[in-house]
Structure 1
Amino acid sequence: MNYKFYFLLLSLILVSCNNNQVNYKKIASFQDHSIKNLEISADKNTRVLLIFPHADDEITCVGLTSYLKSKGAKIHMLTLGHSSETKINETRIEELNCSATKMGVEKLEIAGLIINKWDDIMNDNISFWYDKKDSIKAIISDKIKRYKPQILITYDTEIGGYGHPEHRISAQLTEEIFHEKKSDSTLYLEKIYQFSLPEKLENFMLSNIPAYDYSKKLTNSEGLPNPDVALNIADYWKIKNDVALCHESQFKILNKFHMIAKKGELKNHSEAFSKEYYTVIE
């Protein structure tokens, strides 16, 4: 028996396992405790609208929506993409419905717009989203007029989360509507909460994502805007993890962003990723 060979093989396996381990204490140190805690009043008359382009985008704000729901707020969600007529989207829509149920969303609306392929995104060749901004804006505006939310939740307008142009465009159009309609007495718009991250956490989570660096160059941006507020999501972390687990078809990309806790690591994961951060538009 070649003991040297088996010893070498075992060593390689152990090294591989160690490389796959997540340093949760280090991640926890990336949290920025200097950012002020979110203070927001909400009750049964508060209406909240989530506006995102894709199924699974809503995972970013589960803590905030759960917090608002605990105060009695009603939550609607508008997902702009995923046509039900396209077979490839059947699974994504099923997963989105699972997610909405876990979140306690009162009404989910799916606009069914075109979702571009990753190769096209990385070449900034996103058909429809650049050419049809007026149509996309009309869809968002119509939902706001019908639902009359006080609070909107989106991606940021600077880079769009990790650099996805459909994230950025949907957020930009939402903010445009907000500023145009904020003085409309028939509406009740008060604030937009845009997903963000503190610098150290942003660098850790996004620096190895190709779309992130590409989008920064494309938009001449330094990355996500500085967060204005932070929310401790310890009470809502399990809901957030359950929502992420709905999106089974996206596990590969979600794991890259550490958005799903591995079995046996629930406590460590929840302590490391204990906050959500937002830029506030008023």
Structure 2
Amino acid sequence: MRKLLALACLVALYSCSGPSEADLTALAPTETFPDDTFLETATQKRALIVTAHDDDLVGMSGTIAKLQENGWDIKQITFTSESSERDSALVQAAQLIMDDVEFIWKAHDQRRSDFGQTEAPYMPITKADIEKVFNKAELAQLLTQKINDYNPAVIFTMDSEIGGYGHPEHVLVSQLVADLFNAGTIKAERIYQTVYPDSMEDKILKERLTKQLEEWGYPNPYMLALEVYGPEGMPDPTTQVNIQDQAEAKMQFLHSFREEERNTIGQFIPLFQHFSHDVYFKVFDREFFRVISKEQQAQL
């Protein structure tokens, strides 16, 4: 991950003149999906965010801020990182849009030493290899306990197909939560998986990210993920949430991360460091989710 962070710092220098609003608009989503109604009408206002890393919730952070404004109890559980400073920064950032964050497990310590990984840890590996690399049984037991103790109405994760851009730990956590939900092992009414519509995948992850990383001699993990996990990429959204009223809160949250993390975030929420919240989130005014409910379990 340090290699990716260092690369992100270099990529941040990509444009000396600075992007224009036209550059920003060119990356905007073009699709429209049904507006979410469940979150607005839910009577049990309790949400749990389950992620592998501290910054994995940035794509849903506007929705989380919206829920907090509407009186929801919100907590994030995530892996302990290799940096106590990074973890401390998340604790401070979390106060902006939720109630609490809890660090569980250390993914690096749970990697089996007999698995010969040749790629960087953020590069995609097959789901069969994910089964070999991580102690899933231990993590499943821990997640089941934590989720059921918190008793959320809604669980937020990344997508369980390719984990955003292919990081094995993203896939591990999101797929495990989906599997536990499908088996009826964990208590929740719905899972909201943060996803991009096809237009954003194409423009941000396929085109922009590939071009940027190629200039520095690195492969795009997203493109490799399409080979490893399947050519469809992220699952299609089933709903959207308008977050324009949470523009300032989301921008403040994004800027609360350390510089290294901000530069990495900028690869997937492009150009956010170059614009004010009102300009940026006038363009990116929606967040997108694939929603899994009890009725949809058979589709997993």
TM-score (norm 1): 0.81
The 1:226/1:239 distance shift into structure 2, 3 A limit, reads same
Q: Which has the higher contact order (CA 8 A, sep 6+)?
A: 2
Q: Which moved more, 1:105-114 or 1:223-232?
A: 105-114
CA contact (8 A) 2:247 2:278 kept: no
Letter in 2 for 1:110: F
Q: What's 1:5 paired with?
A: none
**Compared CA separation, residues 216 and 19, structure 1 to 2 (3 A):** same
Shift in Å, 1:229: 0.3
Aligned-residue Cα RMSD (Å) equals 2.6
Q: Which residue of the other structure, out of 127, 138, 141, is the alignment partner of 2:141?
A: 138
Amino acid at match of 2:58: I
Equivalent of residue 234 in structure 1, options 224, 244, 256: 244
Distance (whole Å) between structure 1 residues aligned to residue 132 and residue 102 of structure 2: 19
* Cα distance, 1:281 vs structure 2: 0.3
Tell me, what secondary structure is at the counterpart of 1:108? strand
Q: Does 1:96 align with 2:94?
A: no
Q: Is the 8 A contact 1:42 1:71 kept in 2?
A: no
Q: Is 1:108 aligned to 2:101, yes or no?
A: yes
Deviation at 1:259, TM superposition (A): 5.2
Report if aligned partners of 1:193, 1:278 keep a CA contact under 8 Å in 2: yes
Letter in 2 for 1:262: Q
SS at match of 1:27: coil
Cα 1:25–1:60 shift into 2, 3 Å: closer
Give per-residue Cα distances to partners, 1:70-110, cap 9 Å, x unaligned.
3221101111232xxxxx4112101211221111x222110
User: Structure 2: how far apart are the matches of 1:145 and 1:98?
Assistant: 26
Write out per-residue CA displacement over residues 139-189 of structure 1, whole angstroms, 9 at most, x where no aligned residue: 21111121111100001111101211111110000011112226x8xx4x1
Q: Does the CA-based 8 Å contact 2:130-2:172 persist in structure 1?
A: no
The Cα of 1:252 is off from its aligned counterpart by: 2.0
AA in 2 matched with 1:167:
H
What SS class does the counterpart of residue 152 from structure 1 fall into? Answer: strand
Q: Residue 277 in 1 paired to residue 288 in 2?
A: yes
Partner of 1:193: 192
Residue aligning to 2:12? none
* Alignment-mate amino acid for residue 101 of structure 2: L
How far the C-alpha of 1:21 sits from its partner, in A, is 4.0
> Are the equivalent residues in 1 in contact too, given 2:78–2:104 (CA < 8 A)?
yes
Counterpart residue type for residue 153 of structure 1: F
After TM superposition, the score normalised by the length of structure 2 is 0.77
Find the aligned partners of 1:123 and 1:224 in 2 and give their Cα distance.
14
| Deviation string, structure 1 residues 197-233 (Cα, Å, up to 9, x no partner) | 1111111121125110111111123201000001111
4+ runs deviating over 6 angstroms: 125-129
Structure 1 contact 43–72 (Cα < 8 Å) conserved: no
Query: Is the radius of gyration larger for structure 1 or structure 2?
Result: 1
Amino acid at match of 2:66: Y
Return the offset for 1:265. Answer: 4.1
Distance change in 2, residues 1:70/1:24 (3 Å): same
- 2:36 equivalent to 1:38: yes
| Distance of 1:151 and 1:95 partners within structure 2 | 25
What is the deviation of 1:46? 1.7
Structure 2 counterpart of 1:254? 265
The answer to which of 38-47 and 271-280 deviates more is: 38-47
Distance 2:27 2:279 in 1: 10
Shift of 1:112: 3.6
Aligned position for 1:24? 24
**Which whole-Å CA distance do the structure 2 matches of 1:150 and 1:215 have between them?**
31
Matches of 2:131 and 2:104, distance apart in 1: 14
Q: Distance in 1 between matches of 2:105 and 2:271?
A: 26
1:157 match: secondary structure: coil
Matches within 5 A, 1:50-129: 50-82=49-81, 88-103=82-97, 105-115=98-108, 119-122=120-123, 124=125
